[in-house]
Amino acid sequence: MLRRDSNVLARPRGLSHMAASAARLSCGIRLVHRMSIATLDPASLGRLRGVADGARVVVAMSGGVDSSVVAALAKAAGYDVVGITLQLYDHGAATGRKGACCAGQDIHDARRVAERLGISHYVLDYERRFRESVIAPFADSYLAGETPIPCVSCNQNIKFSGLLDTAREIGAAALVTGHYVGWGLAEGRPALYRPADLARDQSYFLFATTRDDLAYLRFPLGALHKAEVRELARVLALPVAEKADSQDICFVPNGRYSDVIERLRPEALTPGNIVHVDGRSLGRHDGIVGFTVGQRRGLGVAGREPLYVVRLDAGRAEVVVGPRDCLRVRTIMLKDVNWLGDEPVDGGGAMRERVSVRVRSSQDPQAAFLSREGRAAAVVLDDGEFGVAPGQACVFYSADSAARVLGGGWITATSANIDETWFGAEERRAGRQLGARAAMAAVPGD
């Protein structure tokens, strides 16, 4: 359902009107000399590469600081800005919880920002679609013993898919978002990059963006740091300038994902055994949804050494625990790979591509080999990684600087060894040598 908050889904306004608005915003920035803000010109920052002057653009407005600043920058640059907010859920504690997004208060905040800027604002009711495409698969993934990342699914199936269709329907030249990622051209084609503010890097969550969608998307915050964005919001007197950033999983009340799963799938919570990797039964649990691979605290069992969750066996309802060394992974198997590089990576049992990868959004990229067959792939990590779980994403970056996003896929399985079905003897030897060098480098000198 589409709700209209202002009545401007008509033809674009006159350029003179937009130019005057842009001039007022631009002058407001130049007259305030705080930190480095005096050097930032909203009209320049809001310019979208490849988008004609005065064109209509849609800004995805979540009600937070980032998307609100993006809307202000696009307005300052002279575009005909249409703000659209998605109502994704509205259930009790999650709606009013600090750190949530896309619920009642956020819609109200987005509307206030739109009024402040004098732009059109619409609300799309996506509650059912969000429940079916994000929340339900999230619960099912946990019940299967995986560790899902709903933010990737939300971007892929909700925010981009639905908003892109709407933007095109109303004649917009681009969909603009407040993600901290870079957008540019490589070999004449749109490419995705890590942002200037690596502490806010959201490229991990956008690996599934298709080439066609990337050509239509723009990310103005890729060149800015969070402190600059926050200060821009203050100088522009946006009503959300001091609003806290969203955190955790937006639809999870009090940050407890198990509560959501228990409510959606109460019949699927099956008690079972907590088993040591050596086969010993150590205790019982109330359901595997209360555990994740790599977890140490709250296991409910004790051992002679620190124990970690090594894997979850949904079929047997078992939580398998062991020492930390059992968590080390070298090979990662992937499905549903989305490739954004210039040339395809061929499989055939050879390591054809040197890349950097991330298996968590919070970690730095690490060196790896990549081999791909269709939409399946295998990655061999030079140094290995601990606690990698099925359901997580593995995102590829350029090998040289790790700046460009080359795509990624969903993790289906892991191994402590190099998978011989994907990689030949020569590459296995190279991988062992790299691993040995990494181990030697980690040993303190005399």
Residues assigned a catalytic role: 154, 250
Q: Could you tell me the sign of the dihedral formed by the alpha carbons of 96, 248, 199, 394, in that order?
A: negative
11-22 per-residue burial string, b: 16 or more CB within 10 A, e: under 16: ebbeeeebeebb
Token representation of residue 143: 């019940």
Closest CA to 83 of 161, 148, 172, 17: 172
Residue type for position 367 = A
Asked whether 40 and 228 are in contact (CB, 8 A), the reply is: yes
Exposure on the CB side of residue 115, measured as CA atoms within 13 A: 10
Exposure on the CB side of residue 118, measured as CA atoms within 13 A: 14
Q: Please report, to the nearest 10 degrees, the dihedral formed by the alpha carbons of residues 406, 411, 412, 416 taken in order.
A: 110
For 120-181, strand residue ranges (E) read 120-125, 174-176
Closest CA to 100 of 113, 87, 84, 118: 87
